[in-house]
Structure 1
Amino acid sequence: MATKKKTKNTGDFSKYIRWFWILFGAGILCFFLIFQLAAWGVFGEMPDHTQLENPNTNLAGEIISSDGETLGKFYLNDNRTPVGYDELPKHLVDALIATEDARFREHSGIDARGTLRAIVKLGRGGGASTISQQLAKQLFHGEGSRSTTGRITQKIKEWVIATRLERQYTKEEIIAQYFNIYDFGNNADGIRSAASIYFDKKPQDLDLKEAAMLVGMFKNSSLYNPRSHRNPEGTRNRRNVVLAQMEKYGFITQEVKDSLQQTALDLKYTPQSHNDGTATYFRAYLQEELKKWVNNPNNRKPDGSKYSIYKDGLKFYTTIDSRMQKYAEEAVEEHMPRLQAEFFHQNTKRRNPTAPFLDLTHGAIDTLMQVSIKRSERWRHMKYDLKKPDEEIYKSFDEPTQMSIFSWQDGKYAEIDTVMTPMDSMRYYKHFLRPGMMSMEPQTGHVRAWVGGMNYRHFKYDMVKQGKRQIGSTFKPFVYAAAIDQLRLSPCDTFPKSQITIPANKYGNPESWTPRNDNGDYSGYLNLKQSLANSVNTVTARLMNEIGPQPVVDLAKSLGIEQDILPVPSIALGTPDLSVYEMVAAYSTFANKGVYTTPVVLTRIEDKNGTVLFQFTPETKDVLSEEVAYVTVNLLEGVTQGGSGTRLRHTYGTDRAYKKIVTGYPYEFDNPIAGKTGTTQNQSDGWFMGMVPNLVTGVWVGAEDRAAHFESITYGQGAAMALPIWGLYMKKCYADETLNVSKEEFEKPIDLSIILDCEEYKENAKLSKKGQLDDDPEIDF
């Protein structure tokens, strides 16, 4: 009986073993079946091979300077520019592995040990997601469902995608993709943007503690954000956890860990937005030009769709030099607060009851403000976007509103949080003088610097290309050049300063024209070089009377002037409204031996794979002979040798705008400089055009409305308003020897026949009077 019982128990036990193995096998089969079902897309769409090769991530367009620096990005929501694994420093990768996935090098997408630990401890011992799983989640299905079932299927899909990613990519490529995909907050999408925004560095330049902070943000970039007010110490504490993990896994020593944990974050927050950063006005101009390029039917993707400058990761290689752009912006920021301080000094309510306007009655000011209302963005938005009635829109301009306004404080830009009505805000901004500046290589047309205003966030109207203002005496060289070309004049030819009247209808002008000299002096004679240097109006009028206005207009058009110019004699004194962009291109023709070169801002466009989509072709045309161009340059050199531009040479004199900084003018240039100042009626616009052989730069300064201006010529002339920006900029350029800005003489034509030496000119004139000169080729002039 006992034997039979033992046999029965053994049989019963074998049955349980069989059932165990059956269930275990079924479980394994179910496990693999679930994975297979997930792979087939039963639990939701899964990425195919093509999607794994080319993940659908938005990549910002990148604007690259001529010296290889990133000027800014074009993006809508994702400010992401990918980097390769070789651009990531080793300690950054080590920090990621130590903190997020210590066995990353060992598994194939799923960490079995970590997964088992998470199941046994119900997630209380830490998560089990590998870097590959987290990448899968970021790339292909985001946060997923909040339900338990949804989270389980999401995890299964992550496992499947993670194993596929491991087969598709190397470990290094997975790490690079993970750094590139993550959103670090504050428009810092991807490690390249994060390194730039939080530390103003490239990823490869991050030090150990900076790398640890950024890796710490992978846990929760919103909670552990160094700019967050909710958790000021949280980011530092999280960084220290990363350093502890690195020490735990042997990537750093305890001494290094202890030392770095005591340090501050040392942020250098450099926001990247369309309103901030360098070359903001240029970027806005480029954006509009690129929109035209993508809308051109000839510029399409292989599938026929349009490129996106915001999402396709295009690279835009520009002619802007980041160093020169920086120096240009610094020059504006140094000069404008000083000039503005003097403007405020002259336009207090006590000194000027209609401040900031002069020569306007209160009724005229009201009319001007009404015009400004209808030009404003508030009016446009309420009228055309919101379809509000006019009465409601007008009322909104008198309602107090919380706002941040622009200000200069202690010589630097600042924002002031205040409450004022939009109408008061508009009037407040009309007090501010504004600059426009462009710098260009005359030989290539490459635009090296572009400053369209003081601050793009508050003054969006670009005074390089959009704004056109009366140019005053900077137009006179066009008259002189046309006269030299037609009449073969020498800089030494003399003309009387006496007044001249050009009668009505002689050149189609309806009224007679009698220009006046600013200083009221009409006695004696001046040669052309002296006349242009001192901007003598009557001599310029005599030249216009000799050749007529039409040749001058034709020359201006050939020099790239886009604006229509009425061919009347008064244009000789600069009545046309032109842009800085046009003027720099025109003056560059003189420096480029008479050859006009269209300004260039973009050299090529590449897609994200480096394929060239656009290559610039230079556009040039012959406008003047080399001889006429050189003689015109010689005349313009006289402006800085003995005319309105001499403050570039000397350090004597005082200037209210500089008296707290230096005595006199802080330039002291001793190299050849050709230039021309310009001042318009009532001191509304100040200009300076300055040239050296390989760089032409134009500067304009004025207010939004011509009725806001300096009362006297002392501060309202181009030599005080615009020339200082040119001087400060050029000093910085010359101090940077890597730029190779020329200090040489302008190249003289080999076959120059026009006499430039006025002593030689006088001697030849004496000989000519004596009848000793004829057409004898043996006589050398």
Structure 2
Amino acid sequence: MKSGKKGRSPRKSKNTHVTRSGKSIKLNQSLNQKMKARKSAKATRKAERLASLPKGRVKRFLHHFEPKRMYKYWFSRDGGIMALKILGIGLAVGFLLVLGLFAYFRKDLPNLRDISGNNFGGSVRYYDRTGETLLWEDYDAIKRIPVEDDNINQYMKDATVAIEDKDFFKHGGFDVRGILRAGINNVVGGSSTQGGSTITQQLVKLTQNWTKDRSYTRKAKELILSVELERTYSKDEILAGYLNTAPYGNVQYGVEAATRDYFQKSAKELTLDEAAFLAAIPKSPSFYSPYGAYYKANEKESREALIGRQHYVLNLMHEQGKISTKERDAAKKVDILAKIKEPQAKFAGIKAPWFVLAAKKQLELERGVDSVKVGGWSVTTTLDLDKQKIAEEQVANGLPQIQAQGGDTAAFAAEDVTTGQMVALVGGVDFNNKEFGQFNYANQPLPPGSSFKPYDYASLIEHSDNVGAGSVLYDTQAPITGWPCTNKANPKQGGNCLWDYDFRYPGPLTLRYALGGSRNVPAVKAMLAVGIDKTIATAEKLGLKSGYKCFEDEENTVEGPCYGSAAIGDGAFLHLDEHVHGYSSLARNGLNLPQTYILKITNASDKVISEWKPSKGTQAIRPDAAYIVSDMLKDPNASYFPAGRKPHRFNGWKFAMKTGTTNDGKDGWMMGFSAKYAAGVWVGYHTRQRVMSGTMENMTQPIWQGWMNAAHQNEPVKEQPKPAGVKSAPAYIVRSHVGIGSVEPSPSTDLVPSWYKAPNQSSVNQVIDKVSNKIATSCTPERAKDKVTGGSANQFSVDPFVGGAASNSSDKDDVHKCDDVKPTVALNITTTSNGYNLSVNVGQGTHPISSDRFKGTVNYILDGRNIKSVNINGPGNGQAAFSYSPDFSGTKKIYAEIIDSVLYDSTSQQGSLTSKAKESSFSVSATEVGVNKYTFAWSTGGTGLITVFDSDGAICSKSANSSGCDGEFIVNPFVGIYAKDSTGKKVTVPSP
């Protein structure tokens, strides 16, 4: 039965199954076996596929992209798997790349905690010291006034959204379609670069000042910040931020500033047509703004474009359902351009303009010009409006006198001594003058003339151990550094000596009287004794922050070395406001506090950026030196100012004062201080190219004294504290007349510093000759003799240019000789209907009749009383003539007396005058013409000379035949004023 085995089916494998078709299927008994089988099959397929492909992965990958194979592979199972792998890797890499880019850009991005636009800036507002009065709103490069959301009209919000970003309230910070549209346009080369920016993105650009940066890097940063902005703030807040920062042409940023300028109203009051007009501008402010230069140059084209865009905004608002058809059509009919107002002038409405600009200058120096241009600050200045008003009034009142003497402008500055804060400043006479009105003479370089001299003496005392107020410098004609003095003629006649303003040399002077008399020679010697550079450095330490500079060219552009003339303010330059500060430091006993025009700065969020705080200051010079110079400046007896015009005392206050006149007569100064305020005034011609006539004091004193008196009117009196080390010591006694109004002799003791080393002293009684200032002899006339006690000038001398031989109080009188011939005088009397005409014939003796120091004088002596004194210049007949109306009844004796230049005198023979004259009868009235300023007039009936007096002495005098005194006179208080004529008749002057 072997043949039966042949028909049996094959035996089945344990792991296989044969189908009806005869195909074997491998069976897996477990999941693990199945996985192994798949792996084995996959490996087999891969081996078979790789066997038919090139070697190398890159070559195999590219092999699949050959046209004849590409379709078959990529639509096969293996190709699909490969495509999915590539897509997955791409997505993963893309995600990581985005994360990396975000991290890369995010580390350099600002924190957008504030979308108000305050960092974007705006105007700078300047206020007075109270913070309540707005002085000026300086828009400079940016005019911006932030407002709250509810202060912006809804029309403005709707118009802005309609034209700028209609999906603003839908997107999350950026518009994908807009970005793609802009990107495609830029790639394919559209007519212009498109941004595709939303309002949120624009706000980011504006607040970060990215408007000019069109790079893709900036765009990435912008997108990131936009998303953060949307997460942090509401849509209303973002829209308000944008409306507060958007550009609306010219310097207008933000809708409030734009509305105020274009329509002179607030953003809350905008109408539909106005809102659409404003919304049309930010697209291209320089093109659409009616204030822009392009608009004005192409007005027809720009008008049409602007109206067209405004109408386009209205159409969009209508399409988006924000306004009705009726509203749209009505708005289009409005002539919007007729409603546009003219732009305001930069300085429109400014108060205290020069002070504000000085504050701005300080702001720029301290905070940087760029920061000030960005702005957005409120600046509380140190300005005292009351003191400023007084300053402006005094300058205005003084202008006619300045113009009468050839000038046309003035400047004034005042500082609070106790703080260093400026309280008033006037930089000119008319800020609106187109030629020079905005030039601030108060902080421009000017030569100070003699007003610099206090620094000379302060430096001398500070840097010496043997100098006090009573030390001697010789005011004599002799060589000193810079002046060879080989030709002693007047400088106008070719002389090369250093001269004083009055062309006199009074001889040895104390520092007190040299400063009070404003003598040039001692001041120059003081500077040279210490050193020019050291003296200038002392002045700069006291407060001349911008320096005391000399120049080598007429344009003052090339700095050069200073010479001795700088001691008297000639050829060197400083600033008035800093000069006031230097004087203020003297008033503080040498302490230099920081000078400031600014009290506080706050930003638009009212956050304090900086605030003035009291400073300990810097001790520029020792207190003793500053106090002694201050005391010298306060001394009315040492001052050359005439009686009745000395401004050194007011209501118990003591004022230090110094004048200044440049040698070329182009600048006039008056500087000074009390324990409360320091102030200074400058007068001149606006180009400084015109010489002024007359005395500078007639221009400067009314302004300076007027302000000082008014500023101290209601202030409690304060004294400058005297340093403990300052003491008194014997001083040289000045007996020769120094200035017009100086009072001699000078004190026998004077102030010295604590480090002062006294010279050998003498208390010998001597009789000196007033003319030679030497020991009197038997030949010295009695009128020239003066009994004195004290040492010689040389004993107190600190003059490096004069040695022991210069002593003028140990040598004997060498002017008068016993055989000198005296002058002669004869009296001429002629009877008239009203009285007599009197004159004299004068003959000269050995010496001239008159000199600069002692004028020739004729006195008419009636019955032992001097009824008339007349100065004459030389001999001659008919001299000193005048008409005399007797004020007595009966007959009286009269004679004439002549006194010559060296104080020789002689008398004429006596004559007789007879009269039945009535008693003198006259009245005097006063008229107030300003604050404590008066004029005096009188009636007929007076005799000879009428003199008006107050408690301090004579105020003014004039012939009884005139109508009154010439000029205006300061009297304070107006109490006990009276007048007398030559007969002694006294009348009371009633208060006006």
The two structures have a TM-score, normalised by structure 1, of: 0.49
- Structure of greater relative contact order (alpha carbons < 8 Å, 6+ residues apart): 1
The structure with more helix, counted as a fraction of residues: 1
TM-score normalised to the size of structure 2? 0.41
Structure 1 or 2, whichever has the larger Rg, is 2
